[in-house]
Structure 1
Amino acid sequence: MRAADAAPVTTRIETVGTEVSEGPVVGRLEGPGHSVAAYRGVPYAAPPVGPDRFAPPRPHPGWTEPLRADGPMGTVPPQLPSPFAALMGDPVGSPQTEACLTVNIWAPTTGDGPRPVLVWLPGGSFLTGGADLPRYDGAELAAQEGIVVVLVNYRLGALGFLAPSWAEPAAVEGTGTSLSFRTAPGTTHVTNAGLLDQIAALSWVKREIHAFGGDPGEITVIGQSAGGQSLAALLALPVVRPLFRRAALHSAPLGMPPLTREEAARTADDLLAALDGEDARSVSAERLLLAQRHVLTRPRPRGDVRPPFQLVADGTVVPDDLPRALRHSPPGDGLDLLMGVTRHECALWYGKDPATAEMTPDEVAAEFAAVFGARAGEALRHYTSGATPPVAFEELKTDAFFTAPTQRFADLADAWGATVRLFRFDWQVPGRNAALRACHCVEIPFLLGRAEARRAPVFADADQEEMAALRARVRSLWGEFVRSGVPAADWRACRGEDPVVRVVGGERDGELLDSLTEPGRRRLWS
């Protein structure tokens, strides 16, 4: 028989099942040795559709027939293409749906439970991403570390963070698994709907994770990028904190304050104008995304990569100053907090940007003057020592948006009562993409993800054996943090009088530093 006539090879899917409060759920076995039960697209709230498009998340009414969560994908929130999709190897053309308030869950099927739980709040500038990207797959991590891994979808872009002047904040009431969202009668459009989704997801996980073998008393929440910024806001909400025991902030852009109501209203006006009078509550998701694209293409200053749809300081759920809100919230005694950045965060945006490469020394000096004022010359000398002016500009942005505010937030969290550990991820992209260095998101495939993600173009020239060794070590460290709050016995907590930062990956792997910023720079930012 010719090869062309051969029968197609099929892979038999072994299904597994469990039951949550809403009804029975069917998943499938996958991961190393098929030792992990994967459930994709499990609802934690009702679909935010029709009149609920911009409303707080509502409880799901439940189902009677088994929910099929055994497919290769769950749900994808409506979004425009990411500018980094090709580089990161993101799937193309995945079906999108507004019925996206779902979680993906990976739970080991061997050994004894209940197991510690890791809940991941993904990033994407509040505009793109979601639980189903290959780099977020949790099967390998769940199998290696014996933990339950949960990835959360929430509303993105305008659907999650459109805040016209008439939008009202929703009060978060109750505590733990009894949280609810109160709005004024007749309110159909709230501020920060995407953040309320995350709160609803955490409440659902706390209530239902036992059905997947998870321990509701041992939940760690990790937020990366926009997810980290969201988690910083959630830490200051006393009614939310009982939902988890530990937290980790990866590459949170803490130097980017929430939008003011006025800024958010101007953005909303622009989007609504692009709809030409159509009602944002009833137009198709595709039409809304086209209007969102119009907003994203507005002129902006050089180097401004802040998303126009993001957290909005509504005074109820999101404060105007996240560190100040944490300082004035009840003490964080008993909270284990892991925080860190990649060494060259902003190389993702500027490392391969021709406009940045063409910046003149005078243009770079002007950027430093805008940040440091009279100390610009001193700062410029620190940043240009051994670096070109464009690289100095990139590192300035890294420290302004990520490194320096993360260091300040860590110092504050220590004084607030949390036990804080800091890391800096130093592994750098090699070869044709070397300009990205240790850029934003580069640490994710060393913790989460499957083989498909490691074949992304960004890693085309990477040594796979080297990556595998570092991946095993990172998963071990983070797995131990999820289990005990202490990633390694020799990883000391960061105290005001004893600052310590652990380097992960790269030539200085395992070294202890006294600051996230490079020597001499911390004084500039203080």
Structure 2
Amino acid sequence: MATEQGPVRGTVTDGLRVTLGIPYAAPPFGAGRFRAPMPAPARDAVRDCTRFGPVAPQSAQLPGAPAWRAGQEDVLTLNVWSATDTSQPRPVLFWIHGGAYTFGSSAQPDYDGTALARAGLTVVTCNYRLGFEGFGRVPGFPDNRGLLDQIAALEWVRDNIAAFGGDPGNVTVAGQSAGGGSIACLMSSARAEGLFHRAIVHSVPDAFFPPEFAERLTRQVAEAAGVAPTADGLLRATPAALVDASDRVAARYADDPDSGFLHYDTVLYGPVLDGELLKRDPVDTPAVDAAAGPVDLLVCHTTEEYWLMHRVGSMPPVTTDDGLDRFAADYGLPQGLVAAYRALMPGAPVLDVFLALAGDAVFTVPTVRLAEAHARAGGRTFLSRFDRRRPRPDGEPVRAWHAADVPFALGTLDATGVDFLTGGPADAGDHALSRRMVDAWTAFAATGEPGWAPLTDPAAPAVHVWDVPDDRTEGASPAHALWHGTRMAPPSLP
């Protein structure tokens, strides 16, 4: 296949062409470190694109995915699943992976694009800079480099996807968690205007940081790395050193109950409200293209978001009433909200109340607020919730927790590592649900219609609920009204 940077060669199987590890920008190290992405070098030779490219610097090792190794620099690559018959342009779905803006990659098995490509889309997934390399604040260098990478990848799609049979005039961006938060940022930024036409966002985290938070965090990470918090000092620190320093700073917050909100959720990095790329909180900023008006938006969250964090031990459990009150204070939540959740869950253990409150605060409410703001601005908005739950033989329920919806929507239920997210091997009902979600995503990307009515009254939203054996429509949850006018306090560091 021909690209503007030079020819690439992938593999062909059963009518699909899979092209992996295509550079969309130059390696962001050396002279390009901490800078906006630079163009990928042109070449005449055919590039072998039969394997995923290296992942961005991180310490995570995820099932079935490659680990980052020091010295791997060509991390700004993307992957394309396309039909071998390119005579009829297909809608494009551009997937942005999650991972707390700190870990993950497009090489994760549950992000495989085969099912969506077989359903009729051209699918693109990409890597972008993470952690300090992507979102740390460096004096004299641009903020939000990870978002700038995503914009560069979308520009590559605009300029090259027609050669793969994709329609550059019909691009849908999709992502979950940090990927969904990234899309909220792209929707609100003029820099991404015109690069996509619809958006699918799942579980948007309320993790958009003021500059002073990012600056103070830079000082802490630099101190942990043994360098000055200046451009020269940070450039002297290797990527591995900054990954290690970030992990140690996060661990310190996790171990300190007096460290505020980061004690519960040690996500150090996220988009910075820098006044340039991001002028306002993107959750409340409608996505309006100056020429075309609002983009179409499909949002989803899960019923029990924060149970995943409890299951993997990424946050300390809150099991006492005093601890629950302290959590609310650390997050800037009104005391009345805690009492209201207790009333909604009579007799429930404190841990269950905490997980419901935390999941709504961090994921559910920002996701729904984005949908409501978009609808009020005149955008066609579709709201959904993932509620597939079931009992297990050991008595522990399979929960509709954070990220459980992703393999259903991408059609990757049988991928390596997915059984942890989904609570075990998929059964016939699960596969039927996955087909419905794949079909909804495909239809939305093609036509803007996922199969249910758009949101018409933000004050009383109708929600499409994904479930087994059948989907249903519900009104807002009882907790919805409790959050009216409530926002978490802006993050700060002790």
Give the TM bin, normalised by the shorter chain: 0.7 to 0.9
1:272 pairs with 2:222:
yes
* Partner residue in 1 for 2:304: 344
Change (3 A) 1:355 1:240: closer
The corresponding residue for 2:109 is 134
For residue 458 of structure 2, the aligned residue among 496, 502, 515 is 496
Matched, 1:519 2:469: no
Q: Which residue of 2 is the match for residue 6 of structure 1?
A: none
Higher mean alpha-carbon deviation, 277-286 vs 395-404, is at 277-286
Distance 1:27 1:207, change over 3 A: same
Q: State whether residues 440 and 450 of structure 2, in contact with CA within 8 Å, keep that contact through their aligned partners in structure 1.
A: yes
After TM superposition, list the pairs within 5 Å mapping 1:391-430 onto structure 2. 391-428=352-389
Match of 2:76 in 1: 101
Is 2:42 the counterpart of 1:81? no
Q: What is the number of equivalent residue pairs in this alignment?
A: 471
1:63 paired with 2:43, answer yes
Q: Which moved more, 1:292-301 or 1:58-67?
A: 292-301
CA distance in 1, matches of 2:413, 2:7: 27
Cα RMSD, aligned residues only:
2.7
- Residues 208 and 459 of structure 1, relative CA distance in 2, 3 Å threshold: same
* TM score, norm. by length of structure 1: 0.83
| Distance change in 2, residues 1:386/1:150 (3 Å) | farther
Residues 219-258 of structure 1: pairs in structure 2 closer than 5 A = 219-253=171-205, 255-256=206-207, 258=208
CA distance in 1, matches of 2:416, 2:25: 29
Amino acid paired to 1:503: V
Counterpart code for 1:195: L
Shift of 1:111: 7.4
Letter in 1 for 2:8: V
Unaligned runs of 5+ in 1: 1-17, 168-188
CA contact (8 A) 1:127 1:157 kept: yes
* Aligned equivalent of 2:490: none
2:293 is aligned to: 333
C-alpha distance in 2 between matches for 1:442 and 1:20: 35
The DSSP-based 3-state class of the residue aligned with 2:190 is coil
State yes or no: 1:29 paired with 2:12: yes
Secondary structure at the aligned position of 2:7 is classed as strand
Question: 2:199, 2:295 within 8 Å by CA — same for their partners in 1?
Answer: yes
Please name the residue that 1:52 is paired with.
32
Letter of the structure 2 residue corresponding to residue 203 of structure 1: E
Q: Is contact 1:228–1:251 with CA below 8 Å preserved after alignment?
A: yes
Aligned to 1:3: none
- Give 1 or 2 for the bigger CA radius of gyration: 1
- Asked if 1:484 is matched to 2:447, the reply is yes
Match of 1:118 among 77, 93, 96: 93
Distance 2:294 2:277 in 1: 23
Distance 1:418 1:336 in 2: 6
Match of 1:4 in 2: none
Q: 1:525 to 1:402 in 2, by over 3 A?
A: farther
- Distance in 1 between residues matched to 2:226 and 2:338, nearest whole Å: 49
Query: Does the Cα contact within 8 Å between 2:264 and 2:316 map onto a contact in 1?
Result: no
Aligned-partner Cα distance in 1 for 2:209–2:474: 33
What residue in structure 2 maps to residue 292 of structure 1?
Answer: 246
Q: After alignment, is 386-395 or 295-304 more displaced?
A: 295-304
* TM-score normalised by L of structure 2: 0.88
Q: Secondary structure at the match of 2:245?
A: helix
> Match for residue 364 of structure 1?
324
Unpaired segments ≥5 residues, structure 2: 254-258, 486-494
How far apart in 2 are the matches of 1:198 and 1:69? 20
- 2:267 aligns to what SS in structure 1? coil
Among 421, 430, 437, the alignment partner of 1:474 is: 437
Distance between the aligned counterparts of 1:346 and 1:80, measured in 2?
Answer: 22
Residue 398 of structure 2 contacts residue 423 of structure 2 at CA under 8 Å; is this kept in 1?
no
After superposition, the Cα gap between the structure-2 partners of 1:242 and 1:325, relative to the gap in structure 1 and judged at 3 Å, is same
Letter in 2 for 1:201: A
Cα distance in 2, alignment partners of residues 248 and 383 from structure 1: 30
1:155 matched to 2:109 = no
Cα distance in 1 between the residues matched to 2:327 and 2:244: 33
- Cα distance in 2 for partners of 1:429, 1:95 equals 39
Cα shift readout 1:422-468 (whole Å, capped 9, x = no counterpart):
01011137536946611111111112237333654444634432222
Q: Which amino acid aligns with 1:400?
A: A
- How far did residue 120 of structure 1 move? 0.6
Change in CA separation of 1:36 and 1:388 when aligned onto 2, cut-off 3 Å: same
One-letter code aligned to 1:163 = R
For residues 452-471 of structure 1, what are the structure 2 equivalents within 5 Å? 452-453=415-416, 456-459=419-422, 461-471=424-434
Q: Deviations over 1:223-258 (max 9, x none)?
A: 2111111111111223422111111111111x33x2
- Residues 268/497 of structure 1: CA separation in 2 closer, same or farther (3 Å cut): closer
What secondary structure does 2:10 align onto? strand
> Residues of 2 paired with 1:393 and 1:486: CA distance?
36
Percent sequence identity is 32
1:176-255 equivalence runs, <5 A: 189-253=141-205, 255=206
Pairwise CA distance, 1:199: 0.8
